[in-house]
Amino acid sequence: MTFSRCTMNQVSTVDRTANAINRRCFLSRFGMGVGGFALADLQQRQQAFAETIRRDHAPKAKRVIFLFQAGAPSQLDLLDYKPLLKEKHGTELPEEIRRGQRLTSMSGNQASLPLVGSPFKFAKHGECGHWLSELLPHTAKIADELCVVRSMHTEAINHGPAATHVQTGSQFPGRPSIGAWLSYGLGT
């Protein structure tokens, strides 16, 4: 095996002097040695980490289906019934909602920011009384089997930071996602 013109014979031959080892050969051999130590350390850390993962309790759920449909129809048109929004349809977005936040490039140049309620009809379904729109007739039949989380709230009015908040619990990137927590909780 040859690395930067430095062969195994070149380094291991006894009759060669230290002056015969050129700088490139030295750096190549040194780099491989340090790389080997680093690799061994990483493998040791990975094994130690795997051994430290212990759960306080056995997971009760066997499976989780988490639907996060970025780009799908709005939750306001599917399952998040807002009668007050429908009542205020066409009125201007109150400043206390916006609170001076920067608008998206899609709405930043609009002279008016009207509220828009869903144009679809909603009804309660199942014993639990989930509000679902007419767009989900098949889902309405299994309303009692669904778990709809309605407690999520974010201060961000733009989709990007709000989507990050739903996935991680913070509108700033870099935190573990809900998928990571589910993998941890249910096991991999």
55-70: string of b/e by CB count within 10 Å (b at 16+)? eeeeeeeeeeeeeeee
| CA distances, 70 to each of 39, 67, 74, 103, 149 (Å) | 39, 9, 9, 19, 16
101-125: string of b/e by CB count within 10 Å (b at 16+)? eeeeeeeeeeeeeebebbebebeeb
Q: What is the pTM of this model?
A: 0.53
Rounded to the nearest 5 percent, the helix, strand and coil shares of the chain are 40, 5, 55
| Confidence grade of residue 17 (pLDDT, cut at 50, 70, 90) | low
CB 86 within 8 A of CB 117: yes
CB 130 within 8 A of CB 123: no
* Continuous H helices in the chain: 8-12, 23-52, 75-78, 83-87, 95-98, 137-140, 159-168, 178-186
CB 140 within 8 A of CB 124: no
- Name the 3-class secondary structure at 124: strand
Instruction: State pLDDT tens for residues 88-124.
Output: 999 998 888 777 776 776 676 778 888 999 999 999 9
CB 82 within 8 A of CB 118: yes
Report the pLDDT value the prediction gives residue 95, as an integer from 0 to 100. Answer: 82
Which tokens in the block code for residue 116? 């828009």
128: region left, alpha or beta (phi > 0 left; psi from -120 to 50 alpha): alpha
Give the whole-number percent of the chain exceeding pLDDT 70.
65
Rounded Cα–Cα distance for residues 122 and 108 (Å): 31
CA atoms within 13 A on the CB side of 17: 1
Token match 């201060």: residue?
155
* DSSP 8-state assignment for residue 98: H
Q: Comparing 143 with 28, which gets the higher pLDDT?
A: 143
Query: Mean pLDDT: which of 71-75, 104-108, 180-184 is highest?
Result: 71-75
